Each structure stands twice: as C-alpha cells, then as structure tokens.
C-alpha cells in the first residue's frame, strides 16, 4: 500500500505543510459518491477542480461537492468557465478572483479560478486551470498563467490543473521551465493521469513557484481509502495530490 504524504500541519518556524489536490471531475456526470470518497481520502487543504459544473444550477452542484467532501466553496465554477477552488476550514481566504481568458472562435471559453490563502503565517496564491486542446491557444494561456501568478501578490504560489499537454509539449515545457513540476521534483504515487485503461499520459499537474518545497506529488493510487474502483467510477481523469511546505511570509 502506498505510504501517505506528510499531513497538513504548521511548523515551529511558521511554515505550513499544505496538501493540494488537482482533479478534473467531468462536470460531476459520473459517480459522485466515488468522487467524494477519493477527495476525502486525499484530505486536501486546497482542491483545484477542472470541469466543474457551469450551467444549469451549477451553484447547487458546487455546494453539494463541498458538502460531500467536507470542504468549502471558495471561487470559480461557471464564473471561471470550469475551474474552481474549494478549501478546508484550515485555510483563511484573503481574496479570490475569476478570470475569463481570450477566446478563439469555435473553441470553448476558458478561464482561471484564483485565490490568495493564508495558513497561519504562510501565504499562498492558488490558480486552478484547464488549458485549451489547441496548441496555439494553449501556449498563449500558459503565458497568461505565468503572468497571473505574480499578480496574485503573494511570495509563493501554486498552479494546478488539466494542461491538455504532455511533459514533452511546448506549453507544459513553458510552465515547467518557470515553475517546479511537482511530479518531476519529488515523484510519489503514480505518474500518469489519464483514465485507467486509456493510453498512458501525464496531462494534469501541480506546479509551484521557487521557494515552495515539494514533499511529494503524484496520483494517489494505493493511498489508504483510495480504491481503483472509485478512481474508475469518479471521472475520466486521475487526481494529482501534492504536499507542499510553504514558508512563512
């Protein structure tokens, strides 16, 4: 059985260990009970969602997801065209903002859900994203992501989401060249994030700015409470869980 990541905690020097989970939930069209069990077993402080419900009664669906996972809705959903952020009660939300990105005619609207969170003396900017399926638009969105992180005004930040690109792709490479790719920095668990049985690809990631210590990052397959049956039933992506040590501000 997979060993657990470090638990959420505040260190004596004021730094904080923060668990960040990134998960494409396919608009909650699958087994929502399985989805909730996976999230709860991962015990995240921050859940960065992609493909959150964004049409009819989307707020009700977001509230249900928060309730079922023991988290609190923070920002995003329809207002960010899919990305959303939920947090545990451990996080103090200083502010949040949803950003719609320039749209290419004929393609889906994309956006970022962003928040500034505080864990004791540690402050962390968070950005949840779901980048385009088209290479040119995706690359420009990657550039906008790198511009947005420092605009959050925090000394440390994390971006998490469905990149729709593989590590050898130019957008993934752009982001990994400027940020720490969690899996590449401290691999833990399983690497590939596509649905079990599909071609092996790593297209989802948690990336952190310099100064954040990555304690482990990967797909939590085999983590106590995370079953293969639930991962298959919950959605068509696998989640990425990271434990990060964020220095005190």
Per-residue pLDDT at 1: 66
End-to-end CA distance of the chain: 36
How many CB atoms are closer than 10 A to CB 227? 16
Report whether pLDDT(44) > 80.
Answer: yes
Confidence of residue 196 (pLDDT cuts 50, 70, 90): confident
Assigned CATH topology for domain 13-246 = Deoxyribonuclease I; Chain A (3.60.10)
Question: What span, in angstroms and rounded, lies between the C-alpha atoms of 26 and 184?
Answer: 26
Task: Please give the model's pTM, rounded to 2 decimal places.
Answer: 0.97
Average pLDDT over residues 189-207: 94
Question: What span, in angstroms and rounded, lies between the C-alpha atoms of 50 and 129?
Answer: 7
- Per residue in 85-144, pLDDT (tens digit) is 999 999 999 999 999 999 999 899 999 999 999 999 999 999 999 999 999 999 999 999
- Are 100 and 131 spatial neighbours (Cβ–Cβ below 8 Å)? no
- Per residue in 147-172, pLDDT (tens digit) is 999 999 999 999 999 999 999 999 99
């Amino acid at each position: 059985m997979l060993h657990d990541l470090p638990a959420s905690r505040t260190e004596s020097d004021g730094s904080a260990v923060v668990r960040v989970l990134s998960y494409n939930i396919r608009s909650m069209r699958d087994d929502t009970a399985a989805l909730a069990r996976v999230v709860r077993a991962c015990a995240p402080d921050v859940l960065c969602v992609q493909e959150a419900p964004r049409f009819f009664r989307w707020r009700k669906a977001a509230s249900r997801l928060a309730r079922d996972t023991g988290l609190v809705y923070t920002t995003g959903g329809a207002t960010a065209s899919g990305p959303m952020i939920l947090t545990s009660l451990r996080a103090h939300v200083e502010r949040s903002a949803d950003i719609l990105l320039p749209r290419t005619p004929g393609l889906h609207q994309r956006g970022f859900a962003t928040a500034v969170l505080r864990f004791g003396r540690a402050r962390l900017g968070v950005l949840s994203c779901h980048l385009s399926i088209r290479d040119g638009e995706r690359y420009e969105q990657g550039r906008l992501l790198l511009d947005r992180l420092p605009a959050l005004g925090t000394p440390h930040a994390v971006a998490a989401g469905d990149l729709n690109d593989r590590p050898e792709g130019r957008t993934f490479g752009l982001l990994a060249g400027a940020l720490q790719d969690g899996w590449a920095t401290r691999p833990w668990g399983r690497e590939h994030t596509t649905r079990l049985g599909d071609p092996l690809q790593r297209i989802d990631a948690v990336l952190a700015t310099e100064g954040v210590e990555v304690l482990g990052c990967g797909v939590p397959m085999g983590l106590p409470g995370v079953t293969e049956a639930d991962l298959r039933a919950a959605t068509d992506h696998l989640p990425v869980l990271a434990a990060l040590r964020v220095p005190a501000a």
